[in-house]
Amino acid sequence: MAVTKKSELKGTMDASSGPKNLSLNTHKAGMEGLDTEKINEIIKRASEGSRFYQHKQKHQQHLNEKLEVMKKEAASFTKEQTEKATKQMDQLIQELEAERDLSHTIVHVDMDMFYAAVEMRDDPSLRDKPMAVGSTGMLSTSNYAARKFGVRAAMPGFIGKKLCPELTIVPPNFSKYRAVSQEVREVFSHYDPGFSPMSLDEAYLDITDYLQKNSSLYVDEDDGDNHEQLAQAVVNEMRHKIEVKTQLTASAGIAANTRLAKVCSDLNKPNGQYYLPPDRDRILEFISSLPIRKVSGIGNVMEQHLQALDITQCGHLMEKRGLLKLLFSETNYENFLTIALGLGHSTLSAWTERDRKSISTETTFKGTSDRQTLFKLSVDLCQELAEDMQEKDIVGKVLTLKFKTIDFQIRTRAQTLSEATRCPEVMAAGIKRLLLHEMNVATEQPLSLRLLGVRMSSLMYSSEVGQRRQATLTQMFSQAAQPKASSSTTFSQSEQESHHSQKEIIMENVMIKSDNTLERSSPVTAKTDFSQKKDISIENFLSKPKPSKPAEEPTRTEVYECSVCEELVHVESLEEFNKHLDTCLEIHSSPSLRKSSIDNNSFKDDTGIQKNSEQSVESEESSEDNEIPSDVFHLNNCESNIDPTTSSLNQNFLCPVCEQRSFCDMTALNKHMDECLNKSAISELLQESSHQQETTRPKKTEMAKNQSSRKRKGNAESHIHKKTKSGFNTLDRYFSS
């Protein structure tokens, strides 16, 4: 088989207007009949030469290669093979057909250019001008006047300006959009109390019940089969109510399932609706000529795959079903069939937190390779994510670092934790470890990034963790910090939480020790003698008998169990107990003590990270060891205090974290850096926590605060539109000064 030459592949790229993945997507309402060639030319000129453009080009080239391979494979199938596959698909069609449900009436309602419409409503001077909501970095939505120029959502503002120099860009006001959205939802709930919001401006409704109960209000009962008349009237009324209430228009699609309703809502935009009868033949007719890209779920890449096989309309999916079965995975070809048959969900199921698979946060910033900046950012992200998780009462076991290089290459690195957690310190330590490893192994030094993200998956509710006897550290502490009995004292959340982070760190160490990870005791542990408690599991630690019964005592003295020194402390107030904790923690966080303990490896892997995976950082590093007998290079043997810059030995590697110690081999250096990193992370966190106690401020850092304020705009409400929200709020400001 001949190898396809790059030059040939280039032919599949639109030479005049750049890579297809950068071209204007004209499937959006209001984008029909534009001079796409001219627009794409402007887009190309505006971005040509940029790293972003280069990245997209590379991506497109890679895709083209894949498409060529696929086309060759498609050409290689015999007639018999295709026929056999077609028969198998026909069997599948029968099974799918059996499930077809035409008994429901589903409506998809989509507010017209929602954010832009709200802004135009509130500022009449914007009404006749091309305008968009967003920033020069990214546009969230545009009005129809702007769409005429090719300006659309998910386009950077500066390109919008190139396409339309008179474009007015209005910064978004999410709280306003949320309020309007709430008004719209009140209308929805009248027709279907169990409606399914997809984002601030979009929702699915099942109006089957409503139609049944209220048909007499809309149509004459003697009219026979009046489903269309009835549904149209109801949806018309709904849109009218929305307009009266908000002065904004909405478009709607009415069909037997969500997939069809979604397609239909797009057909008569803006301020229109489309009805597709619940009739199999009419549905098949409708779907067969529908461009594949109109179907929700078919994006740029899949469209290109299908186009390469001359599939541009949904009807082609049916015609080429045999080929599709041979070329695509089961999930894919089954999906293609359901599209071609016009099938979809005919009932709405409310999404709950229980359905969540992962939770994440990320931020884009001006590219930097400064390690401290990146570490700081990652700590802030962990803090922010932890708060989100706290709010949702979930913990996670798989921690993922996401980063994007300044060349727009996206990478993820994951690690499974030993316990499900949402402790920001544990997450931050894990993320730092992953990040540092990437910094060290990057081919292009130094590693320069423009995005950092943290994701937690393998989620469960905190309560479930308790059920599994895997109490999280947070829970553990909150139990330990409760007064043994007292009705006279209440605790503010912040009072209790102010000590969490420190305690969790201490507790984390206890946990590590109880896991037998610790080889020898350190001065720190000698003080409180945690090392004697190797057999103490977390559960045992928690369920220690609590002898004192203060509630029976006549005085107002309360008894707390200090989880640092494990003493029962009699105090008159929480404040007093805090003082005790401070003292205890101070002992533990004493730099001299800590340093010596670190030197003794006692903080080794105090992140709580399980290192049993083949792909774990530690394993990767040790796999590098394979070349060198590990007993030859012992950390302490190999350590050097010679300043490497002045040393004549060119094999000395300076630790980039402490910049104080150097090593003669990478393994030793890596080990040291892990410890050094943990040491500095813990020290930093302890310092931060003590500072916060003094000032009794909430424990968020400035950066985390800024980020938090930009977050939580839509939460679960906003799936689609939050995509752009932080485009207006990147962290550029942290670097601009």
Partner DNA sequence: GGGCGATAACTAT
Partner DNA sequence: TTCCAATAGTTATCGCCC
For the segment 133-172, give every residue that binds DNA (CB under 7 A): 136-138, 154-159, 161
Segment contacting DNA by CB under 7 A, of 106-114, 242-250, 325-333, 659-667: 325-333
Residue 463, φ and ψ in degrees, nearest 5: -65, -35
The nearer residue to DNA, 234 or 394, going by C-beta atoms, is 394
Q: At residue 392, what is the residue type?
A: K
Shortest reach from residue 712's CB to DNA, in Å: 9
Give yes or no for residue 730 binding DNA (CB under 7 A): yes
The nearer residue to DNA, 9 or 542, going by C-beta atoms, is 9
Q: In sequence order, which residues have a C-beta less than 8 Å from that of residue 73 and are 6 or more positions away? A: 327
Shortest reach from residue 457's CB to DNA, in Å: 7
Q: Binding DNA by CB under 7 A: which of 26, 448, 613, 690?
A: 613
Cβ neighbours of 168 (radius 10 Å): 18
Q: Binding DNA by CB under 7 A: which of 359, 538, 673, 681?
A: 359
Shortest reach from residue 156's CB to DNA, in Å: 3
Binding mask 442-481 for DNA (x = CB under 7 A): --------xx-x-x--x-----------------------
In whole angstroms, give the CA distance from residue 642 to residue 636.
14
Q: Binding DNA by CB under 7 A: which of 357, 488, 552, 575?
A: 357
Shortest reach from residue 55's CB to DNA, in Å: 9
Shortest reach from residue 155's CB to DNA, in Å: 7
Residue in 274, 298, 172, 277 with CA at minimum distance from that of residue 228: 277
How many of the chain's residues bind DNA (CB under 7 A)? 71
* Cβ neighbourhood burial of 452 (10 Å; 0-12, 13-18, 19+): buried
The nearer residue to DNA, 320 or 455, going by C-beta atoms, is 455
Considering only residues 295 to 314 of the shown chain, the ones binding DNA according to CB under 7 A are: 296-303
In whole angstroms, give the CA distance from residue 114 to residue 109.
12
Residue in 106, 95, 97 with CA at minimum distance from that of residue 349: 106
Q: Binding DNA by CB under 7 A: which of 40, 47, 60, 528?
A: 47
Instruction: Identify the residue whose tokens are 């309560």.
Output: 463
Contact status, residue 462 vs residue 541, Cβ threshold 8 Å = no
Shortest reach from residue 466's CB to DNA, in Å: 20
Cβ neighbours of 550 (radius 10 Å): 18
Q: Binding DNA by CB under 7 A: which of 445, 615, 623, 637?
A: 615
577-426-517 Cα angle (round to 5):
95
Q: In sequence order, which residues have a C-beta less than 8 Å from that of residue 118 and are 6 or more positions away? A: 173, 176, 177, 180, 248
Cα 690–chain centre separation? 31
Considering only residues 644 to 663 of the shown chain, the ones binding DNA according to CB under 7 A are: none
Shortest reach from residue 530's CB to DNA, in Å: 28
The nearer residue to DNA, 178 or 580, going by C-beta atoms, is 178
Give yes or no for residue 52 binding DNA (CB under 7 A): yes
In whole angstroms, give the CA distance from residue 114 to residue 156.
18
Binding mask 557-586 for DNA (x = CB under 7 A): ------------------------------
Q: At residue 644, what is the residue type?
A: P
For the chain, give the longest Cα–Cα distance.
Answer: 101
The nearer residue to DNA, 118 or 159, going by C-beta atoms, is 159
Q: Binding DNA by CB under 7 A: which of 360, 373, 448, 486?
A: 360
The helix or strand, by DSSP H or E, that contains position 197, with its residue range, turns out to be strand 196-199
Considering only residues 395 to 434 of the shown chain, the ones binding DNA according to CB under 7 A are: 398, 400, 402, 410-416
Q: Binding DNA by CB under 7 A: which of 46, 309, 441, 571?
A: 46
Residue in 75, 139, 25 with CA at minimum distance from that of residue 723: 139
Give yes or no for residue 724 binding DNA (CB under 7 A): yes
Give yes or no for residue 503 binding DNA (CB under 7 A): no
Q: Binding DNA by CB under 7 A: which of 43, 164, 238, 562?
A: 43
Q: In sequence order, which residues have a C-beta less than 8 Å from that of residue 704 and are 6 or more positions away? A: 380, 383, 384, 387
Give yes or no for residue 614 binding DNA (CB under 7 A): yes
Shortest reach from residue 736's CB to DNA, in Å: 10
Cβ neighbours of 630 (radius 10 Å): 11
Shortest reach from residue 692's CB to DNA, in Å: 24
Going from the C-alpha of 524 to that of each of 514, 520, 564, 583, the distances in angstroms are 15, 11, 11, 14
In whole angstroms, give the CA distance from residue 447 to residue 368.
8
Give yes or no for residue 373 binding DNA (CB under 7 A): no
Q: Binding DNA by CB under 7 A: which of 23, 40, 273, 363?
A: 363
